Amino acid sequence: MSPRDVSYDGERPVLPRGNLSLSHGGAWAVAAYHPLLPVGIDVEAPRAQLERVIARVACEREVAELDHATVWGAKEAVYKAAGIKGLDWKKEIDVRSTREAMCTRSHERYALESFPMGADRVVVAVRQPLRVVLTGPESAGKTQLAAKLAREFRTLWTPEIAREYLSEHGPDYAADDVVKMARLQAERAEELAASCSEIVIEDTDVLTQRIWFREKYGRPNPELEAMPLKGDLYLLCAPDLAWTQDPLREHPKESDRQRHFEQYHTELERNKKTFNVVSGQGSARKTNALRTLEGYGVLPLAKHRGAGDEIRLR
């Protein structure tokens, strides 16, 4: 990609792929890019009026404990990354330290990096954690792959709530149960995302319930259609594994599984989600998933600094 690929959605710079933020100030024009995560950047030149206006955008703790140029830059960077119009810098952006901030309206956490450039200060904000969702038709190895990736990155993974729900309540279910399962899946995913610093693995999300409901009842469900797809990267598991019999599975025919796979593919494209197809037998499936993540700069830190670390997002 090049500067020619940049377009604007209002005042927000956008690229065909990935997330971009721009800023200028002092002697610099700067840019920040991330292939998967929302990112914001700000550059602040020394200015006397900052001391007079900092209390308008920062709480007493932020003013007392943090460098004021860093606070202002962090607020600006998080505002850009969050992309929420009308966000109140003072009430809804909490700069907790020079390394972390929160957007209290969206309940999203941002990692901060602050560094000098000459006399100016640059602050970058990246939303975390990275949410990787395993999705696709039945018996495509999603659960096993989710567990393996979580072990590889030494992080948490969200199990498929539908399996827990149907195991507890029985295999017979109604339309309302599918909606309940989607709500529970979303709640559990949010809980685990809040507990992970850099990456979380999710075994399915509401996309599964959307397609399941349409397939089962021949119509879309408004609540399921309105629920957002929160994944940053979707690993769409191909139906190239042998069917495994399970009382909670309903579509053993290869033609049905392939048809469902195409539905997932279409929905991910329609929702403009970043996704890659993962295929392969045995250990090759995990290897292919890891290569996909590596292509986006996501690597287990054990490959860089030692077994005690978790992950690296380049």
* CATH number for the domain that contains residue 255: 3.40.50.300
196 and 258 inside one domain: yes
161 and 229 inside one domain: yes
Q: How confident is the model at residue 307 (pLDDT cuts 50, 70, 90)?
A: very low
259 and 166 inside one domain: yes
Domains of the chain: total: 2
Mean pLDDT of 247-275: 90
Nearest CA among 119, 111, 145 for reference residue 240: 145
**pLDDT computed for residue 254 by the predictor:** 87
For 99-156, the pLDDT digits (tens) are: 999 999 999 999 999 999 999 999 999 999 999 999 999 999 999 999 999 999 999 9
Nearest CA among 2, 303, 301 for reference residue 155: 301
The rounded distance, in Å, linking the Cα atoms of 18 and 38 is 8
Pairing state between β 93-95 and 275-278: unpaired
Is it the case that residue 78 has pLDDT exceeding 90? yes
pTM of the model: 0.89
> What average pLDDT does the structure give for the chain?
91
154 and 242 inside one domain: yes
237 and 298 inside one domain: yes
DSSP symbols for the chain = --GGG-EEETTEEE-SSSEEEEEEETTEEEEEEESSS-EEEEEE---TTHHHHHHHHS-HHHHHHS-HHHHHHHHHHHHHHH--TT--HHHHEEE-SSSEEEETTTTEEEEEEEEEETTEEEEEEEEE-EEEEEE-STTSSHHHHHHHHHHHHT--EE--HHHHHHHHH-S---HHHHHHHHHHHHHHHHHHHHH-SSEEEEE--HHHHHHHHHHHHSS--HHHHHS----SEEEEE-S-SPP---TT-----HHHHHHHHHHHHHHHHHTT--EEEE--STHHHHHHHHHHHHHTTEEEGGGTT-TT--EEE-
Among the listed ranges 16-20, 42-46, 267-271, 285-289, which one has the minimum average pLDDT value? 16-20
Q: How confident is the model at residue 44 (pLDDT cuts 50, 70, 90)?
A: very high
What's the full length of the chain, in residues?
314
Q: How confident is the model at residue 2 (pLDDT cuts 50, 70, 90)?
A: low
CB-based burial label for 98 (10 Å; 0-12, 13-18, 19+):
middle
Structure tokens at 135: 């999705």
Cα angle, residue 54 at apex, residues 53 and 56 outer, rounded to 5°: 70
Q: Is 33 left (phi over 0), alpha (psi -120 to 50) or beta?
A: beta
154 and 116 inside one domain: no
145 and 195 inside one domain: yes
Nearest CA among 69, 83, 78, 67 for reference residue 12: 83
Q: How confident is the model at residue 14 (pLDDT cuts 50, 70, 90)?
A: confident
Q: Is 154 left (phi over 0), alpha (psi -120 to 50) or beta?
A: left
CATH of the domain at 78: 3.90.470.20
- Could you tell me which residues come within 8 angstroms of residue 110 by beta carbon, excluding any fewer than 6 positions away? 40, 77, 78, 81, 100, 101, 102, 103, 125, 126, 127, 128
Is it the case that residue 310 has pLDDT exceeding 80? no
- Widest pairwise Cα distance in the chain: 71
303 and 240 inside one domain: yes
Structure tokens at 141: 């190895």
Residue percentage of the chain with pLDDT more than 70: 93
17 and 103 inside one domain: yes
Q: Of 105, 128, 151, which residue constitutes the final position of a domain?
A: 128
Structure tokens at 29: 């024009």
**Separation of first and last alpha carbons in the chain:** 18
The rounded distance, in Å, linking the Cα atoms of 261 and 243 is 14
160 and 23 inside one domain: no
For 49-72, the pLDDT digits (tens) are: 999 999 999 999 999 999 999 999
73 and 173 inside one domain: no
Q: Of 128, 163, 195, which residue constitutes the final position of a domain?
A: 128
**Which residues constitute the domain of residue 266?**
130-313
Q: How confident is the model at residue 247 (pLDDT cuts 50, 70, 90)?
A: low
50 and 116 inside one domain: yes
Q: Of 94, 128, 162, which residue constitutes the final position of a domain?
A: 128
